[in-house]
Every structure is written in C-alpha cells, then in structure tokens.
C-alpha cells in the first residue's frame, strides 16, 4: 500500500477520523527537496501499513489545507493522532528523522 492523496474533500475522513496516526507530506511537483523525500515517504507507507496512514497533500491543488496548517515552506511533514497534530517537521529529512516523528505514536 502506497501513500494516499489527501484533498480538502477527504481530509476529514482520512485524517481527522483515522483510527491510526497519519503522516502528512505537504509537497509540490516543482519542489526539489520534496522529490528527494518522496520515495522515503512511499517506503514508510509500505513498511508501516496498518500502523500508520501516509498521505500526501499537493499544496498547489489544496491551498485551503496548506493555509489551514500555516504551511510556508515545503516539504512539511505533520503527524496527526486522534484528530490532533502530534508532531511536525519542516524541510527535507532522513528516513530515521521521519520515523522519529511518529514511532512513539504507533
């Protein structure tokens, strides 16, 4: 299972009502660092399937969600648990750093 596309339409159901923590990757197609971490994000979606939901939010197509989260720099990673923001990291990160965002939440 790879990451899922999160949009304004499915945010409530996929993120706020999720029974497992959700790692959100705010990105854009023109962002170099976003392209760098994208394969890692997809790997984590596979490796933590069932324990963690992984979603990607294209800020160009979902400006309401990026505004709601105050996104001013990408990539930005946000972890939700029980409908609340539990962790956040701005900028490209290593796989280890990304895992550290959510490992104590699963």
User: Which residue numbers are catalytic?
Assistant: 31, 34
Q: Let me know how long the chain is.
A: 106
Distance CA 41, CA 56 (A): 9
Q: At what angle do helices 95-102 and 32-47 cross, to 10 degrees?
A: 60
Residue whose token pair is 């890692």: 40
Q: Are 52 and 22 in contact (CB under 8 A)?
A: yes
Distance CA 75, CA 90 (A): 6
């Amino acid at each position: 299972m790879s990451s899922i596309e999160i949009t304004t339409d499915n945010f409530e159901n996929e993120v706020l009502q999720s029974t497992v923590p959700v790692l959100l990757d705010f990105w854009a197609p023109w962002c170099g660092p976003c392209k760098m971490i994208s394969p890692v994000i997809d790997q984590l979606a596979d490796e933590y399937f069932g324990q963690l939901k992984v979603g990607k939010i294209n800020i160009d197509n979902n400006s309401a969600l990026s505004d709601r989260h105050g996104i001013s720099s990408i990539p930005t990673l946000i972890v939700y648990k029980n409908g609340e923001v539990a962790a956040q990291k701005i900028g490209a990160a290593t796989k280890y750093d990304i895992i550290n965002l959510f490992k104590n939440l699963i």
